[in-house]
Structure 1
Amino acid sequence: MKIALSWLAKYIEIKENTKELEEILTFSGIEVEAVENIPALPETVFSAKIISAEPVPETDHLKRCLVDIGNFPCPEKTEDGYLQVICGAPNCRTGMMAVIALPGSVLPEMTIAKAHIKGIDSCGMLCSEKELGISDNHSGIIELSTETPIGITANELYELPDTIFELEITPNRPDLLGYIGIARDLSAKLNRSLKMPEIKIPEAKCKAETMPLELVNKVPELCPRYIARLFNKVELKESPLWLKSALIKSGLRPINNLVDITNYVMLEYGHPLHCFDYDKLAALPEKPGIPAIVIRRAYQNEPIITLDGKSYLLEGEEMVIADGIKPSAIAGVMGGNISAISETTKRIVLESAAFNPSSIRRTSYKHKISTDSSYRFERHLSEYSAEDASIRATQLICELANAELCEVTYDSFPFPPKPLILGIRSDRYTQVIGYELEDEKIRDYLERLGLKFLQYGTWKPGKINDIAEIESYSSENKQKSIKAQYYEIPHCRVDLEREIDIIEEIARLDGYDKIPVKTLPQRIMDRHSYRIKKNAVDYLVSRGFYETLNYSFSEPDLLYKLGYEDGDRELEMITLKNPQSSNQSAMRTSLIPQLLQNLAYNLNRGEKNIKLFELGKTYHRQEALSYEPYFLAGIVTGLNKEEHWQDKASPITLFWVKGIVEELLSLWHLENWSVQETKVPFLSRTESASYYLENKELAYYGKLNSIVAEKFDIDTIELKQDIWIVQFAMENIINATRTLKTHFQEIPRFPFVTRDISFLIAEEIPYSEIIKTIAEIERNIISEVTAFDEYRGKQIPEGKRSLTLRLKFRDKEKTLTDERVDYLIDLIIKKLRETWQIKMR
């Protein structure tokens, strides 16, 4: 569930910053899964009017627009005082009000620049919601009301900056499925007043005989309450911007004023609503001429087509909202198209109901339909909240659709539930939570939550329907009676059924951090560190490596053989006062010497294809204490896999070892690393590399120098094989990945388009910088950039190299056209020329 801070602030004063509010929500039991900040936009992004929109010759969708930006100063204006803009949006047309970003405007994913498209200057951009960072809607440019003045900034239009919280609501708290519920909970936590919307329903002008209705509830056990309000002379039109903006920020797409109103009230009160076209409702056969709404079970094999155009065959257990003949909706799940609102709708029925949660849950699961409506109904909504939502929607329909309210309200409420009364003992709170809380404090917390205090009395367990059942408490006879407070539970808190539920609410409001901890939990392991190391070991084993285990003791002479010199950090070893032997006289500072000894041992016994690794600590001096970081080192030589007659093996090469390193870094989700020259003395300078992230080394690989190999009794001339070494600085990797989170990414629905470009570029320019330059242009559409050819030769000028890139383009919202891709290619080439002075081949 997404909530916008600007909308939430309409019900409760918010003084805290985003981080503080996130912590308050989380420690109140409302889990914050994600926080998205929508920044303020530049003042050069504002409302404007399209004076004309003419097709660009030889294109199928581009239009040359003249845009009136009012008195805003802009040197690119034409002689008539308009701005010329090229736009490819399908809804772009003459006379519409839109949002324009002038050249130089910095948007969330791009910077607007003056462009030359199909021989025409384009001075700005007509923006979609996605380009402004408001939503993912990229289907067309923003269409404002024709009454919107020119020059209103996007910040005013969309209440920016804003913050969007994505919340995970537990199934037992349906009262939190709307803004008012969240505000009510914060009101209790922060002890601030709750500001409810002012509701004034206009006088009913439509007489009952004008719009008669037959309401029949055949399954009151499945539908304990059903409210129907009728409206005449409804005007179906586009919603005002404040309503559309509120829905967009909360993750819903605006459709029309009636649908938007029901969605708005659902988000506000947490209770779903639905509108039927009154004139499409059939009458009961026995009562012709009177449109009917019948709440019943579906018939066996009864068909229905829902609003999304899908057909379902009902099995007889589902509950439906039908007219006199056919089902008009799958109750609590989705409406049907037979009575859907359309452009011809003039009279409507507003439904607000409460359904049995188990029935909705079974229907949703059986037909694999999950909607905002079913999500709420299957968590048990109160019968009384149906009336609150209906009244609020009535007000908005009369205001925003200029509708006339019918004087009769149809309300099927056969068995109103009796008020629930629960008691709580302060002594029991102390026993369960672990500390005392005064009666006055308990009462204060519960009244903030909306519980109505009734009286003190002698303790009586269970649910109480009549306060007269409670005996008065006598302080003179404490041994025979236990003091308790009694409260009437508000209808919205269907989760409060027992004393322990109330105790949990008090503890939540008072703060879980106040609960005393008698025994601190013992942290016996770092789970994140364990997972990262286990991932590495599992991966190397899967690639044919064998793990070795060497002593933590070593000898300094081995490090001299590697090429280290006095003053190098590796030679500052911690020596043992009484070593068992000379070759175990110091604590090791590197895993490499012992791995070379392991390699020599195996080579001397006839093994030629060897892949070994070790994961272990090294020991370094650090003032009075030692520093003991983990490293993962590997050594390989020979063939890259087992020999097979059908699949020939090949010698291990630089690229095979490089692939091992980069695959592991990718497995840990490490990105944005840089490649630098390796500083270790025992590797070849030309066939080695180190990987850094924020100036900390992550890993290195390289070919072992033959001179170093000979010092470890390995004759590379006789061996006729290269020896490769890799090492990972596990401490740096563990710290770099500790705060990383894995995010779900939807599988793309639309195909990608491939283009190749080839150009000359200076040799000193890193490939990573070229990728960054390209990504800045359209990060969400340029999905992949690969360098598949690099050439240096006689035809290439000195200091240059020929680079060929393969670019993949994909739009998540629609299929890309050739014109759009060509336009992006032109932008990429222009950017590369301006930034790196490339020359196309």
Structure 2
Amino acid sequence: MKISIDWLKEFVDLNISSQKVADILTMLGLEAEYGTNYSNIDGLIVGEIKECTKHPNADRLTLCKVFNGKKTLSVVCGAPNVDKGQKIAYAPVGTTLPGEVTISKVKIRGEVSEGMICSERELKISDEHDGIMILNQQAKVGSNFNNYVKSLNNTLELDITPNRPDCFSHLGVSRDLSAKLNKTLKPFDADPIPYKKNEAEKYISLKFENPDDCPRYIAGIVKNVKVGPSPDWLVNRLESIGQRSINNLVDISNFVMMELGQPTHIFDYDKLNSKQILIRRGKKGESLTTLDEIKRNVSPNELLITNGKSPLALAGIMGGLDSAVSAQTKTILIESAYFDAPTIRKGAKSLGMSTDASKRFERGADPNASESAFWRVIKLIEDLSIGDWVPGMVDPYPKKLIETQISLSREKLDSLSGVKIKSDFVHDILNKIGCNVNNKSENQWLCDIPSWRPDLERDVDLIEEIIRFYGYDKIPSKYHYQSIMNANEPDPHKCLDKIISIMAGLGFSQVFNNSLQSKDIISLLKIKSVKIMNPLSDTMSELRTSLFPGLLENIDFNYKNNNPDIMIFEWGNIYKQNKPGLKGIQEKLVISGVVHGYLNKPTVHRKKGRRFNFNVLKGSVKNLMDRLSIKNLTFNQTKNKADGLINCFEIQSNNHQLGFIGKVDTIFSDKMHLDINEVFGFQLDLDLLMELANKTPLFNSIVSYPLVERDLNFVLEENILIGSLLSTVKENGNDILKSVDPINIFRHNSLGNNKKSVTINLVFQSSTKTLEDKDVNHVIDEIIRVISNEYGAKLR
């Protein structure tokens, strides 16, 4: 955003250089850059067009007589906006323009041209090239054009953060400067004009479909208006910050927006169908041609200003062409409103529009500034004698702003700032930025928050303001030699790096996704999510409850870019809203991975490829656990879905629930319209994983006694899970049973209906003696007995 230094001086006395102003604003958190992209061009002067005639041999060219302050010269010009009486940027013969273009005396279609009339693009001032650059009428003919540009470019380029909507104006920036420089903020003329009777109510009435969308709307009437060019001072102000002059009424509206930060709009009153203005949402099938002459289809996402059934304007974004001010306008309706920020943001995003007005409303305008801006517009119209104000205004204000109070304690200020700031300074600064301090105390300040500062919500926000003006550079640096890690505790970051390295070794690629997701996607898991108060968009309105949606989008992107075979993982927090309020938010650190496509593609030598499946992913999880020395891993099937997985197995180790593994539910890909195939995934509790992995491994001495192996073959029901069977064997295997593994599964009609034969291998070993048959047989008999009783299995 461009800010004029000269304009700032109307609000605060600045007896310092423009660069110093930029430095002060930057230290206040308003990043400012002084200067212009324009580079001096030797020989360029201010000229005046004395005559304009049509070129005899070309339809699109004009013969101009240009006065350079000493003599009149002939110049051929092809710009459509060239006209008699204009002050222009004239490049005489011999001038070298950017791009190493040297102007020479030439004949164009038989007519001599002694120089060039330049556009802003040709001078590298801007990209504007639709016509020549027209200068202000007070520009002195024959003077150096470089000096003229510098006089208009005493400006700052500000990078305003979204939390400071009050600084999208010269007044807002001046407030911060006056407080920092300890100077009085000069008053501006926006006081209400007294009137005996509200005549405006005879001309207009207001109706609100939903006051939440538009808490305040002010309307007024001006008759006998004279639409024409703006005075030089107004044109200069607007052009100095890159605004184009249109006509006196539109310029006044733009001037007030840049001065006070409050957008206003002016309608041609005679073009309205009725006296009633209705502020409502758009309807399906409605359309509106906006001021940029584009017909736009509207929806319930957009807020409209309507008159009867006809839309007049996109509220807070852009006016309509049918109700626009023209040279024939005689009576106008002035709008100064406060629109709901999320409503305007959604509407602008839905239409793909971004205007000066929408940028201010979607960040949070000041409802009280609506009135100030209205009176400022009225007074400027009267000062310029271009219309007669109809006494009064229509201002129902259906949803008034609730004033906010914040209490700040000395204890918290000292704790967070790290420095002792004098109470007088605190009291003084809070008052200067508009926070009226109700009590003067050494240890407590009760502040009324001004309507133009929606970013001040808590005491920490006030502390930030105090430190901004105190100066971050004045807070002494302190060196902390104490480590944040306890030497007796393992470093979690080191363990996390190890896990990431293992996953990479297993063939997985790490991805990073946004932790904000859309309500539609998050609602699929039926988990109460954490909602964002002021989301940037509908697609980023809630904190994620699972990592799988983001991973599936990664797969879809790769699939569509000819990379369908993929193994990826991500670690990060997922969130749940267990109870209302901040304290009810549960934050859990997890790691999730997914596989898609082929593990081994079909080739000439291998006709049948091998796709990723559950067992492949299970093997990767087991390898990860082995590398982390997490033993006694079991996979137990669960009937419940787990955070987006179906056909799901619970992963456990020594009664610790590590996570889940299974097939990723297709509800995600269906809802997100993803063009992908079957996906398998896992989710692990990363905090628990690091806790178990960080335990120091215990050394077991090598056992010198031999192993004893036995195989058992059971015939059991088809629906009995092998994992459940193995767990039962382990529980009843005594201390000498070292391992249990399935080695074969056989199915045949001879076994009976819905039967299968499972062969398991058992390994026995004692650390104190050589095992005899009786030692092993005793354990095996117990295992057979338990399996037969619990599962109805028979030894084959």
Q: TM-score, normalised by structure 2?
A: 0.55
In the aligned structure 2, how far is the partner of 1:20 from the partner of 1:89? 40
Aligned 8 A contact 1:305 1:336 in 2: yes
SS of the equivalent of 1:239 reads coil
Q: 1:704 corresponds to which residue?
A: none
Q: 1:210 to 1:12 in 2, by over 3 A?
A: closer
Pairing partner for 1:279 from 257, 270, 280? 270
Structure 2 residue 157 is the aligned partner of structure 1 residue 173 = no
Aligned with 1:296: secondary structure?
strand
Question: Contact 2:293–2:321 at 8 Å: present in 1 too?
Answer: yes
Tell me how far apart the structure 2 counterparts of residues 272 and 180 of structure 1 sit (CA, whole Å): 14
Matching residue's letter, 2:452? C
CA distance in 2 between partners of 1:372 and 1:354 (Å)? 15
**Aligned residue among 443, 453, 460 for 1:500:** 460
Residue 274 (structure 1) shift = 0.9
2:77 maps to which of 71, 87, 90: 87
Corresponding residue of 1:51? 50
For 1:419-430, what aligned pairs fall within 5 Å after superposition? 419-430=403-414
Confirm or deny that 1:296 pairs with 2:276.
Answer: no
- CA gap of 1:391–1:151, structure 2 versus 1, over 3 A, is farther
| Counterpart secondary structure, 1:185 | helix
SS in 2 for 1:364: helix
Give the equivalent residue in structure 2 for 1:516.
476
User: Shift of residue 204 of structure 1?
Assistant: 8.1
Q: What are the superposed Cα offsets for residues 699-723 of structure 1, whole Å, 9 maximum, x if unpaired? A: xxxxxxxxxxxxxxxxxxxxxxxxx
Change (3 A) 1:200 1:385: closer
Contact 2:46 2:144 in 1 (8 A): yes
Distance 1:339 1:494, change over 3 A: same
- Determine if contact 2:304/2:311 at 8 Å carries over to the other structure: yes
Distance 1:39 1:13, change over 3 A: farther
Q: Secondary structure at the match of 1:407?
A: coil
Change (3 A) 1:311 1:487: same
Give the drift of 1:264: 1.7
Q: Which whole-Å CA distance do the structure 2 matches of 1:104 and 1:204 have between them?
A: 63
| TM-score w.r.t. length of structure 1 | 0.52
Q: Post-superposition shift, 1:422?
A: 2.1
Q: In the alignment, residue 447 of structure 2 is paired with which amino acid? A: Y
Contact 1:157–1:242, Cα closer than 8 Å, also in 2: no
Cα distance in structure 1, aligned partners of 2:444 and 2:411: 9
Q: CA RMSD in A?
A: 3.4
**Aligned position for 1:447:** 431
Q: Which residue of 2 aligns with 1:490?
A: 450
Question: What's the offset of the Cα at 1:293?
Answer: 1.1
Give yes or no for contact 2:200–2:392 (8 Å, CA) kept in 1. no
Contact 1:321 1:331 in 2 (8 A): yes
Q: Does the C-alpha gap of structure 1 residues 423 and 25 become closer, same or farther in structure 2, counting only changes over 3 Å? A: same
1:351 aligned to 335, 338, 341, which one?
335
> What whole-Å deviation, never above 9, does each CA across 1:484-511 have from its counterpart, x for those lacking one?
1222222211211211111000001111
Q: Give the Cα separation in 1 of the matches to 2:147 and 2:386.
A: 26
| CA distance in 2 between partners of 1:200 and 1:235 (Å) | 24
Query: How far has the Cα of 1:406 moved from its partner?
Result: 1.0
Report if aligned partners of 1:39, 1:161 keep a CA contact under 8 Å in 2.
no
* Greater Rg by CA: 2
Secondary structure of the corresponding residue to residue 422 of structure 1: strand
Q: CA deviation at 1:61?
A: 2.9
Give how far 1:513 is off.
1.6
d(CA) in 2 for partners of 1:401, 1:301: 42
Name which of structure 1's ranges 501-510 and 404-413 shifts more when overlaid on structure 2.
Answer: 404-413
Mapping 1:104-119, distance limit 5 Å: 113-118=103-108
**Alignment check: 8 A CA contact 2:212 2:399 kept:** no
The 1-side partners of 2:96 and 2:38 are apart by: 14
1:157 is displaced (CA, Å) by 6.3
CA positional deviation for 1:312: 3.1
Q: For 1:500 and 1:414, how far apart are their aligned partners in 2? A: 32
- Map of 2:307 onto structure 1: 323
Aligned to 2:130: 139
Letter of the aligned partner of 1:225 in structure 2?
Answer: R
- Tell me the alpha carbon deviations over residues 746-786 of structure 1, each in whole angstroms, 9 at most, x when there is no partner: xxxxxxxxxxxxxxxxxxxxxxxxxxxxxxxxxxxxxxxxx
Could you tell me whether the CA contact under 8 Å between 1:12 and 1:193 is conserved in 2? yes
Report if aligned partners of 2:216, 2:367 keep a CA contact under 8 Å in 1. yes
Are 2:170 and 1:190 equivalent residues in the alignment?
A: no
Residue in structure 1 matched with residue 5 of structure 2 by the alignment = 5
Give SS of 1:36's match.
Answer: coil
1:279 Cα offset (Å) = 0.9
Out of 379, 382, 402, the position equivalent to 1:395 is: 379
| CA 510–95 in structure 1, closer or farther in 2 if over 3 Å, else same | closer
Is the 8 Å Cα contact of residues 301 and 350 (structure 2) preserved in structure 1?
no
- Deviation, 1:44, is 6.6
Say if 1:197 and 1:129 are closer, same or farther in 2 by CA, change over 3 A.
Answer: farther
* Alignment of structure 1 residues 263-278 onto 2, 5 Å: 263-278=254-269
User: Structure 1's 492 and 328: CA in aligned 2 closer, same or farther, altered over 3 A?
Assistant: same
Note the 1:549-568 alignment, pairs <5 A. none
Distance 1:146 1:272 in 2: 28
Aligned residue identity for 1:24:
I
Equivalents in 2 of 1:58, 1:159: separation in Å?
39
C-alpha displacement of 1:326? 1.2
Shift of 1:221: 1.8
Q: How does 1:536-555 map to 2 (within 5 A)?
A: none
Q: Residue in 1 aligned with 2:710?
A: none
Letter in 2 for 1:268: E
Q: Counterpart of 2:224? A: 233
Q: Distance in 2 between matches of 1:106 and 1:500?
A: 57
Contact 1:451 1:487 in 2 (8 A): yes
Contact 2:290 2:318 in 1 (8 A): yes
Contact 1:2/1:251, CA 8 A, preserved across alignment: yes
Partner of residue 14, structure 1? 14
Deviation for aligned residue 1:2: 2.1
* Amino acid in structure 2 at the alignment position of 1:116: V
Partner of 1:413: 397
User: How big is each residue's C-alpha offset from its partner over 1:639-665, in whole Å with a ceiling of 9 and x where there is no partner?
Assistant: xxxxxxxxxxxxxxxxxxxxxxxxxxx
Q: For residues 142 and 200 of structure 1, do their structure 2 counterparts lie closer, same or farther at Cα, with a shift above 3 Å needed?
A: farther
Distance change (3 Å), C-alpha of 1:124 and 1:13: farther
CA shift for structure 1 position 348: 0.9
Question: Partner residue of 2:605?
Answer: none
Question: Compared with structure 1, are the counterparts of its residues 178 and 107 closer, same or farther at alpha carbon in structure 2 (3 Å cutoff)?
Answer: farther
CA drift at 1:361: 1.6
Could you tell me how far apart the structure 2 residues matched to 1:204 and 1:143 are?
Answer: 42
Residue type matched to 2:20 in 1?
E
The 2-side partners of 1:196 and 1:140 are apart by 39
Q: Distance between the aligned counterparts of 1:263 and 1:221, measured in 2?
A: 26
Question: 1:786: which partner in 2?
Answer: none
Match of 2:618 in 1: none
- The CA distance in 2 between the partners of 1:520 and 1:503, in whole Å, is 23
- 1:811-838 deviation line (CA, Å, top 9, x unaligned): xxxxxxxxxxxxxxxxxxxxxxxxxxxx
Q: How does 1:672-821 map to 2 (within 5 A)?
A: none
Q: Contact conserved, 2:43 with 2:91, CA < 8 A, in 1?
A: no
What is the CA–CA distance in structure 2 between the aligned matches of 1:132 and 1:195, rounded to whole Å?
37
Tell which deviates more after alignment, 194-203 or 375-384. 194-203
8 Å CA contact 2:203–2:221 kept in 1: the answer is no
Separation in 1 of the partners of 2:128 and 2:92?
A: 21
Change (3 A) 1:360 1:6: same
Equivalent residue, structure 1, for 2:31 = 31
1:317 positional shift: 4.5
8 Å CA contact 2:138–2:232 kept in 1: the answer is no
Q: Secondary structure at the match of 2:12?
A: coil
Q: Contact conserved, 2:213 with 2:340, CA < 8 A, in 1? A: yes
Say if 1:521 and 1:110 are closer, same or farther in 2 by CA, change over 3 A.
farther
% identical aligned pairs: 37
Deviations 1:330-359 (A, max 9, x none): 211222223122232211111110011111
Paired with 2:264 and 2:41, the residues of 1 have a C-alpha distance of 35
Distance 1:395 1:147 in 2: 25
5+ long unaligned stretches in structure 2: 483-796
Inter-partner Cα distance in structure 2 for 1:366 and 1:304? 14
